[in-house]
Structure 1
Amino acid sequence: MKSIFFSIGLLLMTSVIMAQDPLREGDAFFDEGNYKAALEQYLKALKSNKDDVTLQNNIGICYLELNVDRSQAIPYMEWVVKQEKIDEYAWYDLGRAYHFDHQFDKAIESYRKFNAKSKDEDFKKMAKLGIAQCENAKVLVGKPIDVEFFNVGENINTENNDFQPYIPADESTLVFTSDDKYDSRYKIHINNVLISEKKDGVWERSKNVGIVNSQEDEFVSGLAANDQWLFVKYQRYEAFDDIYMAEKKGARISKPVDMGDKINTKYVESGATLTPVGDTLYFASDREGGLGGMDIWMSIRLPDGDWGTPINVGEPINTPYDEDYPHMMSDGVTFFFSSTGHNSMGGYDVFRTKLNTSTGKFAPPRNFGYPINNTYDNLSIAMSSNFRYAYVADVRKEGMGGMDIYRVVFNNVDANIFLHKGSFKVGEGAELNISQEANIVVEVTNKETNEVQGKYKYNVAKNEFLMALPPGDYTASVKIDGYKEVNQEILVPDLLPNRIFNIKIALQPE
């Protein structure tokens, strides 16, 4: 009994000592892979340990492992490699820091210095991959694609990580992963699945999908092409890195079910998607029999409803590196996935290809390009049916913190033209008095360019004028005898569904 009390007392004493020593507490969090908590303690410890090489090295690694501006690691790693006795891996991590910051030539030089000093063949292979990715990045950054990023806002994003967004082709719902839940006992963030509905072009505040989530980690791993099934990756004690499948009806999601031992194994299973008719499953796994690392596999649904033995989809999709997060579009042909191979510019990049339904073969994949892809991990992309809009997660300077979800507009794809039915109105009890012979034109000006977008004739008999406007910010101007001149602002949102907008312009007597 005394020994039990002694052990408890020793544990409490150790906890008190660690709480008073930020360096030891930081080391404990660092060893657990809790880099956010470790960094907080390390920065406190740095004030009195500025010459501690290991501390400076670990601070650099923390920045490299977090979803923050990873260039913050550079001054720490640069200082470390200048010291007499250093860990050779510091050169590799300095290469990573330069790589994230688009200092590609410096990154290549650091990766090469690591390879010259190291005997670790696995890390040397990773450094060689880093060099190849830097060369890819030079090409991709030099030819950016014409896109715009719009943060989806505080109804979705938090100061923590919000990522892996998926939408159906009509953009009606947004399901994603968030680690905003925090366990203060262990100072860890818990990943859960959330969902939001779009109403009148605006995303409503996201809701926790309670039937899917627990006090452990759940991740959105994909969406069926027909939006009727959601795939969730569990990281629970009883189901670690396994894929579960939940029926989805709009924003309503049922309890997920295990996909069975043909799909879930002792290996890692991750992203998944289902063809429009629901007969073919594509998923990612690092099981034996692949080309290397995570690969994309396919399984056919059997007549009894079970899944058949998976087949590796092979080249040109898979590489000796990692492929994950497959996503089939509702056309049953367009296919997206992420990869650290091919011509990735760093970490995972997203790629697109097309399935030849006659031969069952995929076309050679193409990198989506910069800035959809960058030097961070770009895990997934979800697109609207017209391929003008996409949802991605990214670490950007204008973000709210960690990874944020963005709606991306591909400017090379034409926007919808929206019909506007306009009419005039006067105050209550007053009668609209416009001569039948009046020649009235509503002039619409683009506020951004200050150019006339169009002139639209008013039909006096119908009290109506019709305007066809692309997305933008406009001013409608009109002058009618007997009434004051009117300048009314019109905002046309960049939406997917075609719809008719009704506009009423109020007139005031002179």
Structure 2
Amino acid sequence: MKSYGPIMSAVLIFLFSLAGQAQSNLKKANRAFESLDYPSAVLAFESMIKAGAVLDLTSKHRLAYSYKMTQQNGKAASLYTELSNQVGVDPEVYFEYGDLLRSETDFVQAKIYFEKYKIKSPVIAEYFIQACDYAIVELGRPNNCKLSNMPTNTDQPDQAPVSYRGGVIMGSGITGDLTAKTPGGTELKTAPQIVANPNTFPSRLEDVLTDEAMGKGSASFSEDGSVVAFTRTGGKSLAGVWRSKSGMNIHFSHISKAGSWSEPVAFPFARDEYVNAFPSLSKDGNTLYFASNQPGGFGGFDLYTSKKTGENTWTVPENMGSIINTPGNELSPYTNQNDLFFSSDWHLGFGGFDVFKTTQNGVSWTDIANLGACVNSTKDEFNFLIDQNGDAYFTSNRQGGKGAEDIYKTAKIVLRNQQNLKPLKDSEIGIKSGLDVDVKAPQMNMNSAMMDDVYEDPAVYNRPELQSEKVYFIQIAAMSQFNDQIAARFEKYTRYGDVFMVQADNAVKIRIGVFPNLNAALSQLRILKSNGIRDAFVIGDILDESRVKVLYKGSTDFLSTPAESTENTDGQYKIRVAEFQAPDWFDSSKINDLGRIEHWTKSGKTIIILGDFNNETEAQSVLSKLTERGYKDAYICSEKDGKLYRVNK
């Protein structure tokens, strides 16, 4: 009888080797995916498929997401369609597929998948649905702008536009070839002609822009060209930077009149565990704006500012606050006079990163405005700047370009429905309710830890007709038994706002509010959690008097925003007492005999205001008492149109 033992052994060895190879590829794929190396993850997962392996739901999901992150949208859509029809799939599939469809301008289909995502997060899903509706309306409007793909673009990722001595420098991020549009017209000059001495360190401008920095607009010059700030990123793309966790920092070089560059000096607030990138210098080179994912921000990447105090010394970076920063990502700041332009994947936009504008009003900022279809698309727009003629330049990875990321030019931008602001006054110190801005649609790399704390009350869940009436609360407790003694325990929370009792079917819920938008609620939630109230969360609801009742009015000692009044407070005097990171850092008992205490906001911080006083003499008397009690920096202000102006120095 013929023996099949050797054959069976060979087959088993072959099968075991295949299984071992598949397991090795799976480990390699998962390791790449978890390291955010999506191209390598795609290769590893595809190797498994070619070897005959059948991917489980998790691996298919990871491959679909990796396709999405590497702009292989056709493959991603095919796999997401398959996944979305399978039982037991992660709800994040619906969110990711909706986001992919949104980026392809298929807003109607995107809304279907965002609707499905409501089983995981109704609040986020509803915002994305609203974002699709916004995009349908805005992208459908006629516009008269002229958008040009720059002739300097190549089939490679192109170097971001950089403002330099009134001109705009552009070039390829691969070749390092740079050209510049001079202020006098369309004449193009090469980089060595711009930087007069190419034999010093760094040898030429492109050495910084291409070899030292990422090729995506991380260089910024002072107006006279004497200082440059840039980020060393190892050639990472825009996506590579904002998805990075650490390892990048800003550097500075001085440039002599002859064109020689000094040895780069690192921004002193670098840490291995986070990223500082996208620097933008003020005209005089003494103020730095940049993006960072350092701890303590509102989301993924936030915008920060720092001021130069001496040779290679800078102030501690200050977060630019919740009007600008969100639970998503804000990148590539650029200032032009009093305007700040930046890219965000959270504020209400068309998809991906859109460019937004806000105007500085004293030390506060106006509401955020989307630059519209003359700049933004459903893809990413970033590295926005304006030349002296009012023409704008920016980088985009939109469809129809010559390469992966091209530079575009658009004629002078006029924003719809924007107010003409009067000249700003240096004496202005704040604006009421700095958190009172519309919450915008989030994108992929949001602060998931914060968004996990956002829910929707059953009374409004899945009811689109009530969304326009929805406000936000912070829920701190729920109980089946409730009486006056229990209620008294919650009076201490009036420092954070009004305390509400919400009657549910079998429970009484205790909530703090009311917050008009999600950003305001999340900002206050951060304060509560930092003060030990770990189980609090944000919940959307409507003010239904039949079940939502005020238990305690907010304490005048701790109001996030000055209480509204029907009286005209214009011209009344107040005293700016102090500024703190959080209101609980201030002991109100030291001054509560002198007047009403109000909390205003500035750049994410709390300003302690004392008022109101009928005339300056009365205010001066109280100011003298404050000075005696140790508040040496206090000063008198006058309120007008919800803003404060300093009246004496």
Task: Give the alignment's TM-score, normalised by structure 2.
Answer: 0.49
1:210 aligns with 2:193: no
Query: Match for 1:310: what amino acid?
Result: P
- Change over 3 Å in CA distance of 1:98–1:152 after alignment to 2: same
1:110 aligns with 2:103: no
Which residue in 2 is equivalent to 1:171? 167
Which residue in 2 is equivalent to 1:336? 341
- Per the TM alignment, residue 46 of structure 1 is displaced from its structure 2 partner at its CA by 5.5
- Per the TM alignment, residue 264 of structure 1 is displaced from its structure 2 partner at its CA by 5.9
Within a 5 Å distance, the mapping from 1:409-428 to structure 2 comes to: 409-410=411-412
1:354 aligns with 2:359: yes
8 Å contact from structure 1 (residues 136, 345) kept in 2: yes
- Change over 3 Å in CA distance of 1:63–1:341 after alignment to 2: same
- Per the TM alignment, residue 59 of structure 1 is displaced from its structure 2 partner at its CA by 4.5
Which residue in 2 is equivalent to 1:380? 383
Provide the rounded CA distance (Å) in 1 between the counterparts of 2:221 and 2:101: 38
1:259 aligns with 2:267: yes
Provide the rounded CA distance (Å) in 2 between the counterparts of 1:150 and 1:371: 10
* Structure (1/2) with the larger strand percentage: 1
- Change over 3 Å in CA distance of 1:313–1:411 after alignment to 2: closer
Provide the rounded CA distance (Å) in 2 between the counterparts of 1:351 and 1:377: 12
Provide the rounded CA distance (Å) in 1 between the counterparts of 2:46 and 2:402: 22
Query: Match for 1:341: what amino acid?
Result: W
8 Å contact from structure 1 (residues 173, 196) kept in 2: yes
Which residue in 1 is equivalent to 2:223? 226
- Change over 3 Å in CA distance of 1:363–1:90 after alignment to 2: closer
Provide the rounded CA distance (Å) in 2 between the counterparts of 1:317 and 1:363: 9
8 Å contact from structure 1 (residues 220, 233) kept in 2: no
- For residue 158 of structure 1, the aligned residue among 150, 155, 159 is 155
Provide the rounded CA distance (Å) in 1 between the counterparts of 2:305 and 2:272: 15
- For residue 136 of structure 1, the aligned residue among 134, 147, 152 is 134
- For residue 201 of structure 1, the aligned residue among 186, 191, 194 is 186
- Change over 3 Å in CA distance of 1:104–1:169 after alignment to 2: farther
1:246 aligns with 2:253: yes
- Change over 3 Å in CA distance of 1:258–1:375 after alignment to 2: same
8 Å contact from structure 1 (residues 220, 231) kept in 2: no
- Change over 3 Å in CA distance of 1:216–1:173 after alignment to 2: closer
- Per the TM alignment, residue 369 of structure 1 is displaced from its structure 2 partner at its CA by 0.6
Within a 5 Å distance, the mapping from 1:423-442 to structure 2 comes to: none
Structure 1 residue runs of 5 or longer lacking an equivalent are 1-13, 182-192, 414-510
Of 404-413 and 275-284, deviating more is 404-413
Within a 5 Å distance, the mapping from 1:384-403 to structure 2 comes to: 384-388=387-391, 390-403=392-405
8 Å contact from structure 1 (residues 169, 385) kept in 2: no
- Change over 3 Å in CA distance of 1:337–1:169 after alignment to 2: farther
Query: Match for 2:342: what amino acid?
Result: F
Structure 2 residue runs of 5 or longer lacking an equivalent are 1-16, 192-203, 235-243, 416-649
Provide the rounded CA distance (Å) in 2 between the counterparts of 1:169 and 1:138: 39
- Change over 3 Å in CA distance of 1:255–1:346 after alignment to 2: farther
Deviations 1:146-199 (A, max 9, x none): 33332224x54333x3354323373342367x3x48xxxxxxxxxxx8743347
1:94 aligns with 2:91: no
- Per the TM alignment, residue 126 of structure 1 is displaced from its structure 2 partner at its CA by 5.6
Of 73-82 and 212-221, deviating more is 212-221
1:321 aligns with 2:367: no
8 Å contact from structure 2 (residues 280, 288) kept in 1: yes
- For residue 144 of structure 2, the aligned residue among 123, 146, 164 is 146
Provide the rounded CA distance (Å) in 2 between the counterparts of 1:312 and 1:50: 48
Provide the rounded CA distance (Å) in 2 between the counterparts of 1:57 and 1:283: 34
- Per the TM alignment, residue 367 of structure 1 is displaced from its structure 2 partner at its CA by 0.9
Provide the rounded CA distance (Å) in 1 between the counterparts of 2:84 and 2:389: 50
- Change over 3 Å in CA distance of 1:204–1:71 after alignment to 2: farther
Provide the rounded CA distance (Å) in 1 between the counterparts of 2:309 and 2:27: 55
8 Å contact from structure 2 (residues 213, 219) kept in 1: no
8 Å contact from structure 1 (residues 169, 384) kept in 2: no
- For residue 287 of structure 1, the aligned residue among 290, 294, 305 is 294
- Per the TM alignment, residue 90 of structure 1 is displaced from its structure 2 partner at its CA by 1.9
Secondary structure of 2:411's match? Answer: strand
Provide the rounded CA distance (Å) in 1 between the counterparts of 2:214 and 2:397: 21
- Change over 3 Å in CA distance of 1:372–1:35 after alignment to 2: same
Deviations 1:191-220 (A, max 9, x none): xx8743347736567888335766996764
8 Å contact from structure 2 (residues 249, 276) kept in 1: yes
- Per the TM alignment, residue 276 of structure 1 is displaced from its structure 2 partner at its CA by 1.4
Deviations 1:326-365 (A, max 9, x none): 1112xx3232112223323323211123334xx2333323
- Per the TM alignment, residue 78 of structure 1 is displaced from its structure 2 partner at its CA by 1.0
Aligned length in residues: 371
Provide the rounded CA distance (Å) in 2 between the counterparts of 1:62 and 1:317: 30
Of 240-249 and 35-44, deviating more is 35-44
- Per the TM alignment, residue 98 of structure 1 is displaced from its structure 2 partner at its CA by 1.2
8 Å contact from structure 2 (residues 216, 383) kept in 1: no
Secondary structure of 1:309's match? Answer: coil
Secondary structure of 2:164's match? Answer: coil
Provide the rounded CA distance (Å) in 1 between the counterparts of 2:27 and 2:322: 48
- Change over 3 Å in CA distance of 1:249–1:194 after alignment to 2: farther
- Per the TM alignment, residue 259 of structure 1 is displaced from its structure 2 partner at its CA by 1.6
Query: Match for 1:221: what amino acid?
Result: S
Identity of aligned residues (%): 22
Secondary structure of 2:382's match? Answer: coil
Larger RCO: 1 or 2 (CA < 8 Å, sep 6+) = 1
8 Å contact from structure 1 (residues 219, 234) kept in 2: no
Which residue in 2 is equivalent to 1:36? 39
